[in-house]
Amino acid sequence: MTTDHRVLGRELSNWGRWGDDDQLGTLNLLTPERVRAGADSIRTGHVLELSLPLGGDGPQPAGSRRTNPVHIMTRLPDAPVEEGGFHYFDDAMFLHLQGATQVDALAHVSYDGALYNGVSAASAVTAAGASRLGMENYVGRINGRAVLLDIPALTGRARLDSGEPVTTEDLLMAEARAGVRVEPGDIVLVRTGWMQLLLEGDAQEYFATEPGLDLSTARWLRERDVAFVASDNWGVEVAPSQSGAAMPLHCVLVRDIGMPLGEMFVMEELAAAAATLGRSVFHLSCAGLRVTGGVGSPVSPVATF
C-alpha cells in the first residue's frame, strides 16, 4: 500500500524543531563540527567540480518550461581603448536559476498553501521573489562531510532504468558497500547514472522520466538527520511517482522536513574517483548565488577527497 505523502510529511515534520522563525531547515545540522568532519575527510587533495556548463547548449530541451542560459557580450574589442591602453570586455547572462546543476531553496515547494515551517506560500512568494526561505539564506551553508551512495554499482550496471525507484534497502546496501555509515549532519549524494543520457546528448529522454528516490526514503533521510541530499537526475525522486502524485518526495523533504535539494549533479568522475581511491567519503562545498528572494540557484559543487 502506497503511503500518502501528507501522512508521511506530518510524521516526519521538522516544523518548529529549530524555532518558529527558522529558515535553514536541515542545514542547521551542518554545524561547525560537521564542517570540520568534512575537512578531516580530505586525504589526497583530489578535487572534482560537479556541475554542468552554463551556456546556450545546456541541458534544457526544446519546449521545456525552463530555457538554457542566454549569454550576451555587452562590450567587445571594437569598444574604445582607455587611457594608457587599458581595454576591457563585458558580458551579461539571462538564465533560469534552476536550469542546470542547481539547488532548490525551501521557498521552492508548497502544498495545501504552506511552505516549510508553516510559512504562507501566498504571502511569502510574490512577483518580487520569496520574502522568506529564499536562496540568500543558504549561500555558504552547504559545506561539510559528504557520502556518495552509488546505486547502479550495486548490480554492476552503468545506470538505473527509466522510472526505477531507489528504496531504503538500496541506500542501506550502498552504504554497506561503501563501508561507511551516514551520520547526522552528513551530505548525501545519490548516483543513479541517469546523467549519462544527458552527457550523451539525449536531453529529451533524460527529462522524460527518471530513476530516483522513492517516497519511503524520506523516513531514512529524516532518521539519519541528513543535512542535504543531491542526485544526478533532474528531480532527485523517481518519476513518474509510484502514487501518481506530482513530486511527493519533494513535498515531504522540502516542505515538511525542510531539506534543500541538489539536482543535476555530475557524478560520473566522482564515482570513478571513489572507486579508484576506495573511499566514498569526501568534503563537499556547494556554493550558489546569493539571489535575494530566489527559490533556487545554479551551484558549483566541489568535492575534495
Q: What are the pLDDT digits (tens) for 218-251?
A: 999 999 999 999 999 999 999 999 999 999 999 9
Q: Dihedrals φ, ψ of 202, to 5°?
A: -100, 75
Model confidence at 1: pLDDT above 70: no
Peptide bond into 240 cis (omega under 30): yes
Tell me: pLDDT of 182 over 90. yes
CA 189 – CA 130 distance, rounded (Å): 27
Is the separation of the CB atoms in 238 and 164 below 8 Å?
yes
List pLDDT tens digits, range 25-81: 999 999 999 999 999 999 999 999 999 999 999 999 988 999 999 999 999 999 999
Q: Please give the class, per CATH, of domain 5-63+96-304.
A: alpha beta
- Cell numbers at 9, concatenated: 510529511
In three-state secondary structure terms, 173 is helix
Starting from the edge strand earliest in sequence, which strands make up the sheet with 143-150, in order?
Answer: 47-49, 300-304, 281-287, 143-150, 187-191, 228-231, 261-263, 102-104, 296-298
Q: 3-class SS at 178?
A: helix
What residue ranges do the domains of the chain occupy? Answer: 5-63+96-304
Burial 150-176 (b: 16+ CB within 10 A, else e): bbbbeeeeebbeeebbbbbebbeebbe
**Structure confidence by residue, pLDDT tens digits, 71-127:** 999 999 999 999 999 999 999 999 999 999 999 999 999 999 999 999 999 999 999
pLDDT of res. 2: 58
Model pLDDT, residue 68: 95
CB 212 within 8 A of CB 171: no
**Could you tell me how far CA 161 lies from the centroid of its own chain?**
21
